[in-house]
A and B are shown apart, each in its own frame.
Chain A
Amino acid sequence: MRRPTPEKPSERARVRPRTDVFETPEALIVVADVPGADHDSVEVTLQEDVLTLRAQPVLRAPEGWQPAGAEFELPEYERSFRVTAEIDRDGLEAGIQDGRLRVVLRKRLPRSSRIEIQAR
């Protein structure tokens, strides 16, 4: 996922998105709310053991309309987590839909080996 160049980087607040972290026997699942962001404005990286989510939503004023008051402005989102589980780096998945970013980090499962008992 590429990261577009922000139009006015110094004027936008940068906040930590509200995030949930779940764990299943097979994977860690990270879900973050990034309203206004789409596939082109999100970046997910795993460097060493640090997972970083970034989003720069672009939402312009609708054409032909004049602003009449606002309680919010879409910020830039950025958040990092240290991942303690052993992760299979070939099994990373990320998707975004309805302003919800979902990242799945599959665990590296310990190899089990079956030992045959030899009869004498």
Chain B
Amino acid sequence: MPFDPVPNPFGPLQALRSLQAEFQRLLAEPGRGRSTHLAFALFQKEGSLLLRTPLPSVAAKDVSIEVDGNVLTLSGQYCAEPDEAAAIAHHVERPRGCFSRTLHLPFEVDPARVRARLERGVLEVELPHLQKCAPVKITVQPAGQG
């Protein structure tokens, strides 16, 4: 190709492409904010992002979700098997202790509207974009008025 087309920054798809590129960058950088093996799947719709991660054997009360601007921190603790103390462990593979992962999102999150649910060992967190100001419609006055 002799030249690259210049993207229109005001084009209808540009914001979507930018957001998609940011998600790909987040998922492609293995070291960024990844302190454990928590794996994420992301879904999006207008004005909101949905994060899904498997958290088997974790109780809802043991999960902590913190939002600070565009930074999301997910942390918690795996449940210990109640029988462990009185039993001999022959084979141990399941994770123990704490987990944590931080994501730097390409938008600020509205913390008041964050929703999370843990079902069948899979956590889903809905992260709405923060609307800093509602759009205002301005009426153009004809000449000679006001």
Contacts and interface: CB of A to CB of B under 8 A. Distances in A.
Interface of A: 18-24, 29, 31-38, 57, 59, 61-62, 64-74, 98-100
Contact of B81 (A31, A34, A35): A31
Interface string B88-104: 11111111000000000
A22 B43 contact: no
A24 B49 CA distance: 46
Interface string B36-71: 000111111100011000111111000000000000
Interface in B18-45: 19-20, 23-24, 26-27, 39-45
Contacts of B90: 21-23
Nearest to A38: B120
Contacts of B24: 69
Bin the interface of chain B by size: 35 or more
B23 A23 contact: no
Nearest to A99: B121
Interface of B: 19-20, 23-24, 26-27, 39-45, 49-50, 54-59, 81, 83-84, 86-95, 118, 120-122, 124
A62 B120 contact: no
Given A33-B121, A98-B56, A68 B23 contact: yes
Nearest to A100: B57
